[in-house]
Chain A
Amino acid sequence: MALIAALLRHQVDRDALRRAADGHRVTWAGSWSELNRLVRRLPVTAAFADVNAEPRKDGVLRVYRFGKRYPLTPLVPWGEVGGRELLRLGKAGARQVLTAREAEVDSLVRQTVLEAVDVSLAARIAEALPAGVAPEGRAFVRLALERVPDHAQVPDLADALGGSVSTLERRCERWGLPTPGRLLLWLRVLHALRWLQEPGRSVESVAEQLGYSSGAALRRAIKATLGGRPSPWRTEQGLDEAVVRFAAECRQEFESHGAEAERN
């Protein structure tokens, strides 16, 4: 379940987004500054904003600034856009747009929401996992990754799979994955590194988004998985390297437990 931040001034648009975002949470902003604040404070995966939300403000310029602050958080401009606005939106770095008429088609809004919340991190992790990890194991990693921003703990994941914590631990061993607790720790750290690449977010705000009590707690988590301080990891290459290390730990786990389980 992803968290979507939205700045939509018309009720009909809000209803359309609510219908389309079924299964995800939507938090509403009343202005561009509030939208930025929400993204800074909450684990927002994607944002939708009416470019004409504030009559005296240049919505396209706000889209551009948002993209600078949160380059990894997709913002979908929404609403009545003419040729000139389209030209400026593209230059402002928008990767998608939903025009007012298109927003009348529910299936299209749903598709746009799906694409926006599709976290690229999931694809990177799936690719890095050892080839032998069973499909159920991969699905579990994906589920855990999606639940990390909701502050999910091991019992929540066990519930989601319909079993106890110890059953989940046995399953992880069989699938060749680290223990659920260790897996969650890694996924939180990877999430954090992804968010930390955005200049608009700080270690403190990301720690809060992930449910840590403080920035220091997040720093400790990073030290426990990658070693050292967060700053060297706050780049695209840093995240890539972190995914590689996570995959290496999974591979080690798979070789010691998963392969044996497969043989049995």
Chain B
Amino acid sequence: MARYDRIGPLPAPARDQTIPGWPVVLDLEDDDRNDELAERVRLRFLALRPLHRILRSGVEQADHESIRSQAERLREELGRLHARDRERAVLRAFIDSVKSMEPERLCGGALALAEEALRRGHLHGAEEAARTGLELAEKTGLTQAGSACRTRLAHVLRARKDFAAAGEMIEHALAGAEGHPAVRVAAIQERMRIARASGRIDDARADADSLADAAERSSDPTLRVLLLSAVADEMMERGDPEAAADHTWRALEGAPPAQVAGLLGRLAKSLRHLGMYDEAERAYEEMSRADPPSEASTGAAAEHALMAACRGAAKEFARRRTSLLEVDAPRGLVTNHLEAQLALGRGCGMVGNDSCAQQHLATALDLAETLGDAERASEAEALLRALQDGRSAGRLHAEPVLARPGAAARRVGAGLVARAH
């Protein structure tokens, strides 16, 4: 805000005392000179407006022709975002859902908007989209969509460190997720994260055990992957990469083809933390065959680059990093990807590219703070400090190997070799 601006310092009004959908623009508050962000929040605001109008009048009573005209005008404005910007695709899909006027699609669209905003660390945008989706779900009796929206809201509250409200929200989400296994798994996973973030480690463990039991009993391959992936994530958080690798490997057995790439990325990360670089490299290679570079694989691609640094191959690291940044440049995904920024920052520090390392790590720290990820924030801070102090003679070390590979890890490694043949 300009120094003489009398409006800027005013407090934000309550959600029900302002323009419907307005809270999405609050993400601009601390960064109001950012033109790209200003355009992004404006488009989010405009996108949610037809949904608010539908909410006010009711789906049945809404003027379909008017809503379609509004959606069409918004579509014409999407050109303000780069053609490969992921949010542009999300908004386009949302506009289609608005034109369809189907409550289920509308809720899904709002949820996708919330996820996209959250991925960029825009908590106000994420909250408003999820709340709007939730209102529609409640009005139209869509319990499954309502639970998904509540899970997203719990994530926002966790990021704001309002653990009590997040816990309450996630219990509501779970209550409405009965009979919807995928939604339930996502909610339990969020509950684990809330428990971990608020220091209730035992509760997180209990949830992980219950998910592992459910995976044992499940005969649905898609659900089994979801359950085991959630357990593996929790194991990684717990600092047990061997158990994480073991669960991920079990999830890979019989996994539907669409889920294989994601699992391989997870597996590679666990193996890296076990110091099994050759095996991790193998997993990344198989992953890139299963899933050609895509938006979803940004984090994995950054970690693949880091692998090269871990093995001391500075040129290969630089090649992979440059290639990732070039592919990503128009989409801006790496910029907003916490894990990717951390991996690239650490990699740059390891090969002696301190200025780039500093940039990546500073971005990672910003993102981690916005998203309320205290562990990643302190990791980024520690790396930045190590860089600045020169304690490591100008170079960062590879991530510490968390555990020596045990029997399970060796079995996974052998399994990977066998898969390649």
**Complex contacts, A105 vs chain B, CB 8 Å:** 66, 69-70, 73
- From 1 to 25 in chain B, residues with beta carbon under 8 angstroms from any chain A beta carbon are 5-8, 10-13, 17-19, 22, 25
| Given A93-B13, A111-B53, also A87-B25 (CB < 8 A) | yes
> Contact mask A91-125 → B, CB, 8 Å, 1/0?
11111110101101101100100000000000000
User: In the complex, are the beta carbons of B7 and A86 less than 8 A apart?
Assistant: no
Expressed in whole angstroms, the Cα–Cα distance for A28 and B118 within the complex equals 44
In the complex, which residue of chain A has the Cβ closest to the Cβ of B38? A83
Is B46 in the interface zone, CB < 8 Å from A? Answer: yes
Which residues from B are CB-within-8-Å of A88? 5, 7-8
Residues of A within 8 A of B39 (CB): 82-83
Binds A, one of B26-34, B317-325, B413-421: B26-34
Contact among B7, B18, B65 with A64 in the assembled complex (CB-CB below 8 Å): B7
Are B73 and A102 closer than 8 Å at their CB atoms? yes
B42: Cβ under 8 A from any A Cβ: yes
Tell me if A148 counts as interface (CB < 8 A to partner B). no
Chain B residue at minimum C-beta to C-beta distance from A65:
B6
Contacts of B42 in A (CB 8 A): 81-83, 86
Partner of B22, one of A90, A107, A108, A111: A90
Q: How far is the CB of B80 from chain A (nearest CB, A)?
A: 10
Confirm or deny: B37 has a beta carbon within 8 angstroms of a beta carbon on chain A. yes
A96 smallest CB distance to B (angstroms): 6
Q: Does A86 contact B25, Cβ atoms closer than 8 Å?
A: yes
In contact, A104 and B18 (Cβ under 8 angstroms): no
Residues of chain B contacted by A81 (CB below 8 angstroms): 42
A94 in contact with B19 (CB, 8 Å): yes
Q: CB-CB contacts of B28-72 with A at 8 A, as 1s and 0s?
A: 110010000111111001100100010000000001011001100
Closest Cβ neighbor of A86 among chain B residues:
B25
For B17, what are the chain A residues with a Cβ–Cβ distance below 8 Å? 95
Q: Are B63 and A111 in contact (CB under 8 A)?
A: yes
Question: Which residue in chain B gives the minimum CB-CB distance to A60?
Answer: B7
Task: Tell me if A216 counts as interface (CB < 8 A to partner B).
Answer: no
Question: A261 on the interface (CB 8 Å rule)?
Answer: no
Residues of the A chain whose Cβ atoms lie less than 8 Å from the Cβ of B63: 107, 111
8 Å CB interface, B102-132 against A: none
Q: Closest residue of chain A to B26, judged by CB?
A: A87
| Residues from chain B with Cβ under 8 Å of A93 in the complex | 13
**Contact between B7 and A82 (Cβ–Cβ < 8 Å)?**
no
Verify A90–B69 contact, CB threshold 8 A.
no
Residue B77 CB within 8 A of the other chain: yes
Which residues of A lie under 8 Å from residue B77 when comparing CB positions? Answer: 101
Whether A87 touches B18, Cβ cut-off 8 Å, given contacts A108-B69, A108-B70, A111-B63, is: no
Interface on chain B toward A: helix, strand, loop, or mixed SS? Answer: helix
Cβ contacts under 8 Å, A90 to chain B:
12-13, 18-19, 22, 25
Chain A: minimal CB distance from B302 (Å): 29
Residue of A nearest to B32 (CB): A84
| Cβ of A22 to closest chain B Cβ, rounded Å | 16
Query: Considering the chains assembled together, what is the distance between the CA atoms of A60 and B45 in angstroms?
Result: 18
How far apart sit A61 and B41, CA to CA, in the bound complex (Å)?
21
Which of B38, B65, B70 is the one whose CB lies under 8 Å from A102? Answer: B70
CA distance A105 to B74 in the complex (A): 12
A89 in contact (CB, < 8 A): yes
Q: Taking CB as reference atom, which chain B residue is nearest A87?
A: B25
- Contact across chains for A92 and B18 when beta carbons are under 8 A apart: no
Report Cα–Cα, A150/B8, bound state, in Å: 39
Provide the bound-state CA to CA distance between A107 and B70, in Å: 10
Chain A residue nearest in CB terms to B9 = A91
> B49 — which chain A residues lie within 8 A by C-beta?
102
Select which of A83, A97, A107 is within 8 A of B66 by beta carbon.
A107
Which of A81, A83, A95, A111 is packed against the most chain B CB atoms within 10 Å? A83
| Those of A53-100 within 8 Å (CB) of chain B | 60-61, 64, 81-84, 86-97, 99
Residue of A nearest to B68 (CB): A105
Q: Which residues of A contact B40 (CB under 8 A)?
A: 83
Which A residues are in CB contact (< 8 Å) with B45?
83, 86
Distance between Cα atoms of A97 and B18 in the complex (Å):
10
Q: Which residues of B contact A101 (CB under 8 A)?
A: 73-74, 76-77
A82 to B42, CA, bound (A): 6
**What is the distance, in angstroms, from B56's C-beta to the closest C-beta of chain A?**
9
- B7 and A83: CB pair below 8 A? no
Q: CA separation between A87 and B24, bound complex, in Å? A: 9
Interface centre among A84, A105, A111 (most CB of B within 10 A): A84
On whether the beta carbons of B19 and A97 are closer than 8 Å, the reply is yes
Contacts A61-B6, A91-B12 known; A96 to B29 CB distance under 8 Å? no
Q: Which residues of A contact B26 (CB under 8 A)?
A: 87
Please determine whether B10 and A92 come into contact, CB atoms closer than 8 angstroms: yes
In the complex, which of the residues A84, A96, A104 contacts B19, with contact meaning CB atoms closer than 8 Å? A96
Q: Which residues of B contact A94 (CB under 8 A)?
A: 18-19
**Cα of A204 to Cα of B63 in the assembled complex, Å:** 43
Within the assembled complex, what's the spacing in Å between the Cα atoms of A92 and B5?
A: 11
A99 to B77, CA, bound (A): 12
In chain B, what residue has the closest Cβ to A102?
A: B70
Contact check: which of B10, B38, B46 meets A91 at CB < 8 Å? B10
CA of A82 to CA of B22 in the docked complex: distance in angstroms?
13
- Chain B residue nearest to A94 (CB atoms) is B19
A/B interface sample: 7 pairs, CB < 8 A:
A83-B40, A86-B45, A90-B18, A92-B10, A95-B17, A95-B19, A102-B46
20 new A-B contacts, CB < 8 A, other than A64-B6, A83-B37, A95-B18, are A81-B42, A83-B38, A83-B39, A83-B45, A86-B19, A86-B25, A87-B28, A88-B5, A90-B12, A91-B8, A91-B11, A91-B12, A92-B7, A92-B10, A95-B17, A101-B77, A105-B73, A107-B63, A107-B66, A108-B66
Closest 7 CB pairs of A and B: A83-B38, A107-B66, A83-B42, A90-B22, A91-B10, A88-B7, A101-B73
Q: Residues of A with Cβ closer than 8 Å to B?
A: 60-61, 64, 81-84, 86-97, 99, 101-102, 104-105, 107-108, 111
